[in-house]
Structures are given as structure tokens and as C-alpha cells.
Amino acid sequence: MIQPGKTIGVLGGGQLGRMFAHAAERLGYRVHIYEPMADGPAGEVSAREVNQSYTNVEALTAFVRDCDVVTYEFENIPVEPLWKIENLVPLHPHWSVLETCQNRMREKTWLRKNGFPHVPFAEVEAGDDLAAAIRRVGLPCVVKTADFGYDGKGQIKVSDEASLAKAVAAFARQRCVIEKFIDFKCELSVLVARGSTGEVKVFPVAENIHTRHILDFSIVPARVPDAVRTEAEKLGLAIVEKLNVVGLLAIELFLTDRGEILVNELAPRPHNSGHWSLDACATSQFEQHVRAVCGLPLGDVSILSPSVMVNILGDAWKWQGEELVGDANWAAILAHPRAKLHLYGKKEPRLGRKMGHFTVTAATADAALDLARELKARL
Ligand SMILES: Nc1ncnc2c1ncn2[C@@H]1O[C@H](COP(=O)(O)OP(=O)(O)O)[C@@H](O)[C@H]1O
Ligand SMILES: [Mg+2]
């Protein structure tokens, strides 16, 4: 057990690291952040921040020598440098988990190999005939680069000849996966924590609404039949065991019209769709991640109230065309007795950039969603 008072190193310095640092510091840990860019959201609230490249093994080695355990909050960290620190300090989840999850091709191949339900896909190597591969899968489909995708970046939906040409122009020289377009009923996510002792806890399943590929609303509890919830939880537990995760694993799912659950993506870290847990759960996902990587007993994951989380993008600020002309109407959220505002301290709002979120609670998930939409409109 890594006792409170010890030092946790975090690779990555964004908002997930910031909220992780808050949770760790409440339990008496010191947090050190390793992040290439200065002045990030996490470094600002942590005991120490090192700004070096992820591939600088010397700097990374010096960083981990001061830590008692290391984790990460960002998926696109190269794994090779992590091999070199493996014997210096416990790293959770293990780098092999990161390696599987950070590349769509490896992730989807892993799901297929282990018999987990996933979105059917075709693999395309750099230089292969992408147009022919797209035609083989059939339209509509989604072309996604194997590496570095997030918030809809690195993917194009192909539904006609024009979008096919666009996808070929953008991605022909990269490794890609082509997925069937799934006309899903809704999107769900399940977050599972597994401690170094093997103890596991599953957070209540969330229902997620994306707008332009970016998470917009997370609704808890998900408005799906109990059987779907139970199956999603079982699937989550099975994946976490098979991947041998210590820490948190977020699993994004599609629920199809036929009631099938398909895995879309895996993320070995706290996840945007779990932010509601800060305000509406006995234990937040961030605290759970601290507990899991430090070998503490895991916390209770009971829902305290139905709730909805709303992402706040830079778009919420006042813009005239491309020009920023004013702040968002924070008072609309702050004045409401059932709303909680979280801002990440990012210096510069930009369109499409995640700047914060707010959570509302209500008697039912539907009522929470109505209130969330109302407050979002007033923001
Ligand atoms: N095969 C698909 N069929 C239908 N919608 C999809 C498909 N793949 C992705 N999407 C939509 O795009 C969103 C983002 O895609 P995702 O694969 O999760 O990538 P990322 O979150 O890394 O950008 C999904 O949450 C979903 O709304
Ligand atoms: Mg996703």
C-alpha cells in the first residue's frame, strides 16, 4: 500500500490530472506532474510540475525517482520510455494496457481476439488502397486513424462519394480502421476500478450524448433497462480482468436498436463521462483512481442523486465571429441550488476546447436532463 503522505507522479497535465490532484491531495498525497507544456491545468494545483518531453528518458527517470507510484491521465504517451522506468517505480495501469488502448487498431484487434462484442471493422495499412477498402466495408462507415484520435479528431464519416474522397485525401497515408456506421439507440459508458489487490468496483452506467463527436451530456443513471445496465457492468468487469488493469478503465459502448452492446473505445484513466461522480456519487472517479493505484480499499460507488454532467466548451464564451468578446454567464450556474460549476483554469478559451463542466442533480434523470439543457442555454 502506498500510504497517504507519499508522492504520486502523474504523466500528463490536463484537466483529468487537475481533478486527480485535487482528490489525491485531499487524501494527503503529494502530486508531481510530468507534462511537456508549461502552465497546464494540473501543474497549477500540484506540488511540482516538470515540463519535459515524454521521450526524454533522462528527465523521466529523474522525475519518477522522486515518486512512490506513477500513473497517467493522457493516452498518447509513447510507451517505449515507460519500459525504462518500469523497474524504478510501480506504474499503474501497466504500460501494456496503455499500449493496447492508445491505438485503435490494437484496441479493436484485442477486443476481437478476446471475444468481446465490438463494432465490426476493417484494417488498412498506410499506402493500402483506402477507397477500395471503404467500398468493401460499404457506406455509411467511419474511417478512423489508428493513432492520436480524440473528440472526433482523426475520423471522417463516409456516406457518399464526396466524403469518401475527403477521407482518402486526409488519411490515405496512415494506418486506419474502417468501421460500419452504427445507427445506435444510445451511447453508454462504464467505468471500472481495479485495485492492486484485485478488488473491483463498477460505477453506475452513464448514458452519453455527443454533439459533433464531443461529449455534451452524461446522464446517470442511464435510461436503459436494468438488463442492459447489468450486461454493461459484466462486460466492464470482464474487460478489466482480461486487460489486467490496476487503476480505472473507462469503456465507451454503443447500444444498438436490437439491444446489443458493442464496445467502441477503452481508456485506461478517469474519463469525461465520469465527471458527474464528483458531485453525485459517494466516491468520485478521481478518488477511486487514487485508491486503486495506491492499493487503498476502493470507495463506495452508490449514486447520491440522479444527475447530468454538461461539458463547457470555449464556445460558451461570448464570440463575435472568431473574436472573443466576453465571458460566459457563470452566474446562471452559480445561482442555481442544484448545479455545481467546475472550471479547469485553462488560460485561453477556444471553440471546441473543453474548459470545464457543470453537474446538476434532480429527482429523476429526465428532470436532471431538462434542467441541464435549460442552464446550458442560459450559459
Ligand atoms: N462506427 C460508428 N458509428 C456511429 N457513430 C460513431 C462511430 N464511431 C464513432 N462514432 C461517434 O463519434 C464519437 C467519437 O468517436 P470515438 O470513436 O469515440 O472517438 P474519440 O472519442 O476518440 O474521438 C462517438 O462517441 C460516436 O458518437
Ligand atoms: Mg470516444
Per-residue pLDDT tens listing for the chain (379 residues): 999 999 999 999 999 999 999 999 999 999 999 999 999 999 999 999 999 999 999 999 999 999 999 999 999 999 999 999 999 999 999 999 999 999 999 999 999 999 999 999 999 998 889 999 999 999 999 999 998 878 878 999 999 999 999 999 999 889 999 999 999 999 999 999 999 889 999 999 999 999 999 999 999 999 999 999 999 999 999 999 999 999 999 999 999 999 999 999 999 999 999 999 999 999 999 999 999 999 999 999 999 999 999 999 999 999 999 999 999 999 999 999 999 999 999 999 999 999 999 999 999 999 999 999 999 999 9
Which pLDDT belongs to residue 32?
Answer: 98
Sequence-separated (6 or more) residues with CB below 8 Å from residue 337 = none
Is any atom of ligand 1 closer than 6 Å to the C-beta of 210? yes
Sequence-separated (6 or more) residues with CB below 8 Å from residue 360 = 307, 308, 310, 336, 338, 339, 340, 368, 371, 372, 375
Helix (H) or strand (E) holding 325: strand 323-326
Which pLDDT belongs to residue 148?
Answer: 82
Pick among 3.30.470.20, 3.40.50.2000, 3.40.50.1000, 3.40.190.170: CATH of 186-378? 3.30.470.20
Q: At residue 170, what is the residue type?
A: A
Which pLDDT belongs to residue 151?
Answer: 80
Is any atom of ligand 1 closer than 6 Å to the C-beta of 224? no
Taking the centre of ligand 2 as the mean of its atom positions, its distance from the CA of residue 304, in whole angstroms, is 26
Q: Which ligand is nearest to the CA of 187?
A: 1
CB atoms within 10 A of CB 268: 26
Beta-bridge mates of residue 339: 360
Strand residues in 81-183 grouped as ranges (E): 121-124, 141-145, 155-158, 176-180
Is any atom of ligand 1 closer than 6 Å to the C-beta of 119? yes
Q: Which ligand is nearest to the CA of 140?
A: 1
How far apart are the C-alpha atoms of 92 and 35, rounded to whole Å?
A: 17
Which pLDDT belongs to residue 172?
Answer: 85
327 burial (CB, 10 Å; 0-12 / 13-18 / 19+) is exposed
CB atoms within 10 A of CB 334: 11
Is any atom of ligand 1 closer than 6 Å to the C-beta of 216? no
How far apart are the C-alpha atoms of 100 and 121, rounded to whole Å?
A: 16
Is any atom of ligand 1 closer than 6 Å to the C-beta of 151? yes
CATH code for the domain defined by 120-180 = 3.30.1490.20
How far apart are the C-alpha atoms of 70 and 313, rounded to whole Å?
A: 29
Domain 7-91, CATH class in plain words: alpha beta
Cell numbers placing 3: 500510504
Domain boundaries, the chain: 7-91, 120-180, 186-378
